[in-house]
Amino acid sequence: MAKTIFERTSIGRKGYTLPVNDVDVKLDSCIPAKYKRSSAVKLPEVSELDVMRHFFELSHMNHCIEKGFYPLGSCTMKYNPKINETLVRNAGFNNLHPMQDEDTVQGALEILYDLQESLAEISGFSKVTLQPVAGAHGEFTGLKVIKAYHEAKGNFHKTKIILPDSAHGTNPASVVLAGFEVVEIKSNKDGMVDIADLKAHVDENTAGFMLTNPNTLGLFEKQVEEIAEIIHAVDGLFYMDGANFNAILGIVKPGQIGFDVMHYNLHKTFATPHGGGGPGSGPIGVREDLAKYLPAPLIGFKDGKYFLDYSHAETSFGKVHSFFGNFAINLRAYIYIKMLGAKGLRRVAENAVINANYIQKKLEKYYKIPFKHIYCMHEFVASGEWQKDKYGIKTIDIAKRILDKGYHAPTIYFPLIVPEAIMIEPTETESKETLDEFIQAMIDIAHECETNPELLHNAPMTTPVRRVDDTLAVRQLNVKFEW
């Protein structure tokens, strides 16, 4: 590896020029003695080019979608068209201020309004708010709407939200944050909601049911209408975690098959790159009678003018974010939807599903696939159980070896109900050639488990940082470069 920026330091070299100080302030007298440095801070002294190379090199140490395939299940790491990035950097968007007068931001409001309407149309809901800024934030917002609905009816005893055991970790966390209790039910042997177990847990205290569809096993929950009937019979509301919407875009409208509330992950389905914690956008859609509880303002349109609509502020449960959500992320989603159109969005889902099924089929002889009796949707869950039982190789070893082959690892050990889970989501933006190369790499790894298990235990061999002791790294976090 080339020398680090710290090792390249040369006393007195610098990559900046500052204007001559023409302010007459005695800094010395402003800073209390106890905050003053006794010696100069030790910073690298390098040229501008050195700094550039430093950051360029760092960026190459990480994996990213521009560098290679990123089959991280549940995350929908699709290609983000570069035109999104170009357009969001347009000064006309970039220099807007949220406090500006409505008359001066009609274009921006039109985009937000159009996006609200498009998302409502795509999902079959009546109203959409763009305020939440993450999927989990959308869950929280949706649950607060559910709470407001019950409280408006005086039904304070409705305190329980039911979830299947395949749920994403954010679901139970949001339930608790929104002030409800979690009731977990089982999945059946086909990986779907166990209706008998659901019936056994539904009662007059049920406030709602949260279901991811397709679920985290990558399977479409076919019993949606039956579940909706069971939940609605006790005046509960049916929430859809729509993070996996990529699989059914343009094919299924959740608002028309029994769901009452749903969140979208714009930073998954609608092409914003994500990872590392944001930024994101997690709008929610609701059925007509729930719209009055949404955070205010919504974006309205009347007499040829777009405006911030506070008309439901009295019944709204409150705000969840400053102003109108993450404008730049919403803008990317808007561009993406406009570029693809209705037909294009449907093709996204079709190709995402075909790609996942293609990999699943090609790998079924090499890795255990627990739920292969039906087609998967946009992702599937394999398991490293065969490799573990036969060769003592764990899923973490397989995931580390995948890094050596030039790929990001799939999601592993999730969902929790599949032992040694390996969750693969190719997305629609990958070519057949890329999928074939990845499949071959996975097959090669399956052979290596048999012929060279040591290699698996020691992987990764080629990454800038080799295998770290995860537990120790968490307990004794040390990210400081010593020089």
Ligand X SMILES: *Cc1c(COP(=O)(O)O)cnc(C)c1O
Can you give the binding site for ligand X, defined by CB under 6 A?
A: 74, 134-136, 168, 170, 212, 216, 241, 243-244, 265, 280, 282
Of the pair 137, 405, the CB lying nearest ligand X is at: 137
Among the listed residues 236, 63, 99, the one whose alpha carbon sits nearest the alpha carbon of residue 162? 236
Write down the H helix ranges in 125-221. 135-152, 170-177, 195-201
Q: How many CB atoms lie within 10 A of CB 155?
A: 14
Shortest Å distance, C-beta 44 to ligand X: 35
Of the pair 108, 382, the CB lying nearest ligand X is at: 382
Of the pair 216, 330, the CB lying nearest ligand X is at: 216
CA distances, 15 to each of 11, 39, 40, 70, 167 (Å): 12, 22, 18, 36, 51
What whole-number distance in Å separates Cα of residue 357 and Cα of residue 464?
Answer: 33
- Looking at this protein, which amino acid is placed at residue 277? G
Angle between helices 106-123 and 327-363 (to 10 degrees): 30
Shortest Å distance, C-beta 281 to ligand X: 9
Encoded tokens for 218: 């990558």
Of the pair 138, 384, the CB lying nearest ligand X is at: 138
Shortest Å distance, C-beta 274 to ligand X: 7
Shortest Å distance, C-beta 201 to ligand X: 21
Among the listed residues 377, 126, 349, the one whose alpha carbon sits nearest the alpha carbon of residue 251? 349
Are the beta carbons of 143 and 241 closer than 8 angstroms? no
Shortest Å distance, C-beta 242 to ligand X: 8
What whole-number distance in Å separates Cα of residue 109 and Cα of residue 284?
Answer: 18
Among all residues, whose Cβ is closest to ligand X?
Answer: 135
Of the pair 387, 411, the CB lying nearest ligand X is at: 411
Are the beta carbons of 176 and 186 closer than 8 angstroms? no
Of the pair 80, 212, the CB lying nearest ligand X is at: 212
Of the pair 147, 168, the CB lying nearest ligand X is at: 168
Among the listed residues 223, 266, 224, the one whose alpha carbon sits nearest the alpha carbon of residue 245? 266
Shortest Å distance, C-beta 269 to ligand X: 10
Of the pair 170, 187, the CB lying nearest ligand X is at: 170
Shortest Å distance, C-beta 16 to ligand X: 38
Are the beta carbons of 294 and 145 closer than 8 angstroms? yes
Shortest Å distance, C-beta 215 to ligand X: 8
Encoded tokens for 273: 């790159």
* Residue that has been written with the tokens 């003018």 in this structure: 305
Of the pair 44, 415, the CB lying nearest ligand X is at: 415
Shortest Å distance, C-beta 172 to ligand X: 11
Cβ-Cβ contacts under 8 Å for 247 (sequence gap 6 or more):
214, 218, 220, 349, 352, 353, 377, 378, 379
Q: How many CB atoms lie within 10 A of CB 104?
A: 10
Shortest Å distance, C-beta 216 to ligand X: 6
Of the pair 388, 408, the CB lying nearest ligand X is at: 408
Encoded tokens for 441: 């790499």
